[in-house]
Amino acid sequence: MTFFQPARRRLVQALALSSLLLGSLAQADTTIKLMVGFPPGGGTDAIARLLAEKLKEPLGANVIVENKAGAGGQIAAQALKAAPADGTVLFLSHDHTISILPQVVKNPGFNPAQDFTPVAGFATFVNGLAVSGGTPAKSFNEYVAWVKSKGKDTVGVPAPASVPEFLVKVIGEKYKLDLAAAPYRGSAPMMADMLGNQIAAGVASVPDFIENHKAGKVRMVALLGKDRQALLPDVPTFAELGLTGFEDLPYYGIFAPAGTPKAVVDRTSDALAKVLAQPDVKAQLTAMGLTVGHMTPQQLGAREKAYTATWARIIKASGFQAQ
């Protein structure tokens, strides 16, 4: 009779589990939930729905988007932590929930480094300032002059203690403006108020603004990043306008619960790479304002770590205290 050493036995068990999980994910009746931490109608939701539809074929499963909106993605992140580590529950998120929120909330209820496994990154993007249709300003400098003439302004942001809220604070300090950030539960309700001229300006991502900017309903007047965006060649960067230090670009990625087998993670990452290679998918994501590019689990993990470190320095320098 052959006896396995404990380490070898654990390896065999792990391989068997991975094989079982991969087999289950290949079943046509398997449903994979792709969670989003924001409500329907916003940029992140639109991105998730496009990718979910395209991932069905390479994953051989039904992929559905589940919106768990609230607290800047915190609710969805907590749900991912509690989800089974078998590849059937994933979380599509940008930088805010993964890199920023754990640094500005005392008890977020999750630790990305311990509770999540990076699956794949698929894009970077930039945030920017846009003004509502009823705002007379046609440029950033005109907006600054307009705010000074009226004394103060309220600027919408998709989530509290987010990069957009920090940007509002920095703009106010840099240009001696009395600006108050108004946090929303996602970009969709913020955009609704901008379209209704309930607020004069907002800070969010290009994907959040791009369609209404193209339609002339809002006007993007300045963007983060070191270079102008190909999609918006006439919109200057804040760096051009003299506001530097925000050149590190935020990211989008997909995450799984910690403990998800490597074989499942790699298979999902490979499926996303195939989807991103499709010309129509890349064209649609690019039109939404994203710079598309697949990142492996290792590359996404490194990107997350570097971006988190950048914002740790910015948050510390701002004097912000976790709440």
Read off the CATH number of the domain in which 106 is found: 3.40.190.150
Q: What is the pLDDT of residue 4?
A: 42
**Residues in contact with 181: Cβ distance below 8 Å, sequence separation at least 6, in sequence order:** 154, 155, 156, 157, 164, 165, 168, 169, 203
Does any domain span residue 3?
A: no
Residues 120 and 157 in one domain: no
Does any domain span residue 228?
A: no
Q: Give the pairing of strands 89-94 and 31-36.
A: parallel
The β-bridge partners of 200 are none
Does any domain span residue 238?
A: no
Domain with residue 153: its CATH number is: 3.40.190.10
Residues 115 and 182 in one domain: no
CA 168 to chain centre: 19
The number of distinct structural domains making up the chain is 2
* Rounded Cα distance, 235 and 126, in Å: 12
Residues 164 and 218 in one domain: yes
Q: What is the mean pLDDT of each run of 10 residues along the chain (323 residues)?
A: 46 49 56 96 95 98 96 96 98 97 96 98 97 97 97 96 93 96 94 98 96 97 95 96 91 98 98 98 97 98 96 90 88
Mind giving me the DSSP string for 95-120? Answer: HIIIIIHHHH-S--S--HHHHEEEEE
Please calculate the CA angle 250-182-169 and round it to the nearest 5 degrees.
60
Is the pTM of the predicted complex or chain greater than 0.85?
Answer: yes
Domain that holds residue 19: 9-124+250-318
Residues 138 and 199 in one domain: yes
Does any domain span residue 256?
A: yes
Q: What is the pLDDT of residue 1?
A: 40
Does any domain span residue 241?
A: no
Q: What is the pLDDT of residue 317?
A: 87
Long-range contacts of 77-82 (CB under 8 A, 24+ apart): 77/37, 77/101, 77/108, 77/109, 77/110, 77/112, 77/116, 78/108, 78/109, 78/110, 79/35, 80/35, 80/110, 80/115, 80/116, 80/255, 80/256, 80/257, 81/109, 81/110, 81/115, 81/116, 81/257, 81/258
Does any domain span residue 279?
A: yes
Does any domain span residue 38?
A: yes
Residues 97 and 138 in one domain: no
Residues 119 and 33 in one domain: yes
Does any domain span residue 232?
A: no
Residues 264 and 171 in one domain: no
Residues 85 and 116 in one domain: yes
Q: Which amino acid is at 232?
A: L
Q: What is the pLDDT of residue 2?
A: 42
